Structure 1
Amino acid sequence: MPWKVLIADDDPNVREIIRLYFRQQQIELVEAPDGASALSMLAEAKPDIVILDVMMPGLDGFETCREIMKRCEIPVIMLTAKNDEIDRVLGLELGADDYMTKPFSPRELVARIKAIFRRMQKGQAAIEADSPAQYEFDDLVIHVPRREVNVGSEKIDLRPKEFELLAFFAKSPGSVFTREQLLQQVWGYEFSGDMRTVDVHVKKLREKLSPCPHACIHTVWGVGYKFEVEACT
Structure 2
Amino acid sequence: MYKILIVDDDQEILKLMKTALEMRNYEVATHQNISLPLDITDFQGFDLILLDIMLSNIEGTEICKRIRREISTPIIFVSAKDTEEDIINGLGIGEDDYITKPFSLKQLVAKVEANIKREERNKHAVHVFSEIRRDLGPITFYLEERRVCVNGQTIPLTCREYDILELLSQRTSKVYTREDIYDDVYDEYSNALFRSISEYIYQIRSKFAPYDINPIKTVRGLGYQWHG
The TM-score, its normalising length taken from structure 2, stands at 0.52
Output the amino acid matched with 1:133.
Answer: R
Deviation string 1:181-214 (CA, Å, 9 cap, x unpaired) is xxxxxxxxxxxxxxxxxxxxxxxxxxxxxxxxxx
The residue aligned with 2:176 is: none
In structure 2, the gaps of 5 or more residues are 144-150, 152-228
The residue aligned with 1:49 is: 48
Q: Secondary structure at the match of 2:15?
A: helix
Whole-Å separation in 2 of the counterparts to 1:90 and 1:40: 24
- Assess, with a 3 A threshold, how the Cα gap between structure 1 residues 107 and 93 changes in structure 2: closer, same or farther: same
Whole-Å separation in 2 of the counterparts to 1:120 and 1:106: 21
Work out whether residues 3 and 46 of structure 2, in 8 Å CA contact, stay in contact via their aligned partners in 1.
Answer: yes
* TM-superposed deviation, 1:41: 7.0
The sequence identity of aligned pairs, in percent, is 28
Whole-Å separation in 2 of the counterparts to 1:62 and 1:20: 25
Output the amino acid matched with 2:101.
Answer: K
Whole-Å separation in 2 of the counterparts to 1:143 and 1:82: 48
Whole-Å separation in 2 of the counterparts to 1:42 and 1:98: 22
* TM-superposed deviation, 1:7: 0.9
Q: Secondary structure at the match of 1:70?
A: coil
- Assess, with a 3 A threshold, how the Cα gap between structure 1 residues 123 and 143 changes in structure 2: closer, same or farther: farther
Work out whether residues 74 and 119 of structure 2, in 8 Å CA contact, stay in contact via their aligned partners in 1.
Answer: no
Whole-Å separation in 1 of the counterparts to 2:141 and 2:52: 36
Work out whether residues 8 and 38 of structure 1, in 8 Å CA contact, stay in contact via their aligned partners in 2.
Answer: no
Output the amino acid matched with 2:46.
Answer: P
- Assess, with a 3 A threshold, how the Cα gap between structure 1 residues 118 and 140 changes in structure 2: closer, same or farther: farther
* TM-superposed deviation, 1:46: 2.1
* TM-superposed deviation, 1:39: 4.3
In structure 1, the gaps of 5 or more residues are 146-151, 153-233
The residue aligned with 2:9 is: 10
* TM-superposed deviation, 1:143: 9.6
Aligned residue-pair number: 142
The residue aligned with 1:92 is: 91
- Assess, with a 3 A threshold, how the Cα gap between structure 1 residues 38 and 23 changes in structure 2: closer, same or farther: farther
Whole-Å separation in 2 of the counterparts to 1:63 and 1:56: 10
Whole-Å separation in 2 of the counterparts to 1:49 and 1:75: 5
- Assess, with a 3 A threshold, how the Cα gap between structure 1 residues 68 and 141 changes in structure 2: closer, same or farther: farther
The structure that has the greater radius of gyration is 2
Aligned Cα root-mean-square deviation (Å):
3.5
Output the amino acid matched with 1:6.
Answer: L
